[in-house]
Amino acid sequence: HVQLVESGGGSVQVGGSLNLSCAATGMSASSMCMAWFRQGPGSEREWVAAIDSTGAKRYASSVKGRFTISHDNVNNNLYLQMDNLKPEDTGMFYCAADWGIANCLAGSWSPADFDYWGRGTQVTVS
């Protein structure tokens, strides 16, 4: 079974940085679409960034220029480098993966579009 495990969350001051990791096991990198979502207090889970099997990337407008998504093909880990963090970035961050998405870079994904999820890692910016 596919398993996704996030790590790297924590508390950081406004303007600081964090690098989140998602260890993926039981899956192949071929034809995959992987993404990061976040869910703030009292808010719905929202899409943050996506990366396809070729390494092409797409970002939500709220994080573009501040966040960088990447994938390590050797270890099959997903990363999210977050710079210039803002209080509104606070929330639970989740990694997700799917192999049935026609266009991984379409953007504005719903959580229902992804079949495999980690349990999340908390990010607090204050």
Confidence of residue 3 (pLDDT cuts 50, 70, 90): very high
**DSSP class of 88:** G
Condensed to tens digits (0 to 9), the pLDDT of residues 98-113 reads 988 889 999 999 999 9
pLDDT digits (tens, 9 = 90+) for 29-82: 777 899 999 999 999 999 999 999 899 999 999 999 999 999 998 888 999 999
Distance CA(65)–CA(4), nearest Å, equals: 26
**How far from 79 is each of 58, 71, 100, CA to CA, in Å?**
14, 6, 21
